[in-house]
Amino acid sequence: MNQYDYIIVGSGIAGLYTALLAKEQGSVLIITKGSIDDCNTKYAQGGIAAAIGRNDSPELHFQDTIAAGDGLCNEEAVRILVNEAPDCITDLVNFGVPFDTLDGEIALTMEAAHSRPRILHAGGDATGEHIEVTLSNRVRSSKIQVLEDCLATEILAEKGTVTGIKALDCRTGSIEQFGCRFLILATGGAGQLFKFNTNSEIATGDGIALAFEAGAEIIDMEFFQFHPTALRLPGVTPFLISEAVRGEGGILRNVDGYRFMPDYALEGDLAPRDVVARSLLYEMEKTGSDRVFIDVTHLPPSVTTTRFPHIYRFCLDHGFDITKGLVPVAPAAHYMMGGIKTNNWGETNIAGLFATGETACTGVHGANRLASNSMLEVLVFSKRIMEKTRKRAATEAPIIGEGVEVHHSLSQREISKALRPPSLSALQQLHWDKVGIIRNKEGLAEAADILAVWQKSLPQPTDRPSYELNNLVLTGRLVTEAALLREESRGAHFRSDFPRSSSQWQRHIVFTSK
């Protein structure tokens, strides 16, 4: 069995950035189920939040993050995030990420729920793509070994300590084993749970499933963020229309041309994402339409085309010019706030197992992620993983959130329904209909029952699609069961039968398999 100091699963910004830091400390292997360029990062348009502006401060960034998290942020983790942000931006600049500049300084823009312009971007709305390409080129030219088309299938451990990982060679179908001192999961999110989502096809909850089955704690899975504005065109996969479009002055209008957001929130078009997403659903229902529109026609065309070249070109390729007409949009699943529970050094409850990026839950997002904090979280906590493994210090107890944690095992549901194993489309439709933006007990309980039956009926996986389907069903059960347990509305989790938040629920739901 080949032995490495670090094995990193995933090749988005989390995996690549961590690998580039890890190579200074030992041998590194990246395992990725597609190519090194297949990831969610390159679709990230908004940018990275960091308090580097003259009229900004880490304290203001802290306050905005806490407010967005709706009572469930880990304040210590947020302090770490906002205070260590500038150094991590410096790292990206040194790696060669071409951030946009204005008058010789990094340009900063505004996004919803931020009190100051603090969003760094590259190529206008192509930030994720620029970072991904920069880091992947660095990795390719380094001594880091990369195994592409290789899907991690099982975490290996002895006496509570990670020893390695099993992986499927997707080209040959063979299973191989790799040993390591430190295993870092950087597998991204699980947007493919939902019919409408802004994620790439690789976002199938692989890290969540791997970690859960190995005995790691999974936390806050009910909090799944739905982006309010994804392009809605017949036959076209939902394409993100960045929140920064509204930050630059874009206006949401219904099918009658009416500007409706001031009716739902004092902040209008710049209200928090969960508020905007629900408001869009209400407005669509009210007007009998499956979409609303973003209007940027009042902005100078040069501002739109230079600030949002990627969005402009994509829409132009699909037959309309956003400088002259309205952009049809509707909500779509976007980001998983919960995940593998980690402490402030990226450690899980299993010795030697770390997690970073969207698959991890550091506690900085709470119940609702502040826009553009996700890539920053990757940088800050990946760097802390490297500090921890370099020091080889004793594992400290994870610290997540300010409230009490409630631990659960997945329900052993007694069900007699005869259901065929699910297709991916059936799974996505079920989650969109029953576990989506607006939830209730009846729908969640039905989904939980169906998912439990599906999980029992799934055959043993043999290839990438079947492993991914298994991972999605398990991850979907964790999301659904957590949403069913949380009898309140908080952040991105909204229950129509419990429409208000409750002080009794200022706590976290943690799932364990062992």
Interatomic CA distance for residues 228 and 365, integer angstroms: 18
Q: Which domains does the chain have, with CATH numbers?
A: 229-330 (3.90.700.10), 405-511 (1.20.58.100)
The DSSP string of 410-459 is PP--------PPPPHHHHHHHHHHHSSSSB-HHHHHHHHHHHHHHHHHPP
Answer yes or no: are the C-beta atoms of 482 and 491 closer than 8 Å.
no
Q: What is the pLDDT of residues 106-144, one digit of tens each?
A: 999 888 789 999 999 998 778 888 888 899 999 999 989
pLDDT band at 393 (very low <50, low <70, confident <90, very high): very low
| Residue 461 DSSP code | P
Beta pairing partners, 109? 119
Of 72, 59, 378, 398, the closest CA to residue 216 belongs to 398
Distance CA 443, CA 242 (A): 30
Instruction: Dump pLDDT digits (tens) for 416-464.
Output: 666 778 999 999 999 999 999 999 999 999 999 999 999 999 999 999 9
Whether 9 and 187 have beta carbons less than 8 Å apart is answered as: yes
Planar angle of CA 304, 13, 46, nearest 5 degrees: 20
Sign of the alpha-carbon torsion through 196, 489, 363, 342: negative
d(CA 71, CA 490): 8
**Helices 374-391 + 13-22 axis angle, to 10:** 30
Which of 34-38, 206-210, 257-261 has the weakest average pLDDT? 34-38
**36-45, 163-172, 267-276: lowest mean pLDDT where?**
36-45
Which positions are catalytic?
273
Query: Among residues of the chain, what percentage have pLDDT more than 70?
Result: 95
Q: How far apart are CA 340 and CA 120, in angstroms?
A: 27
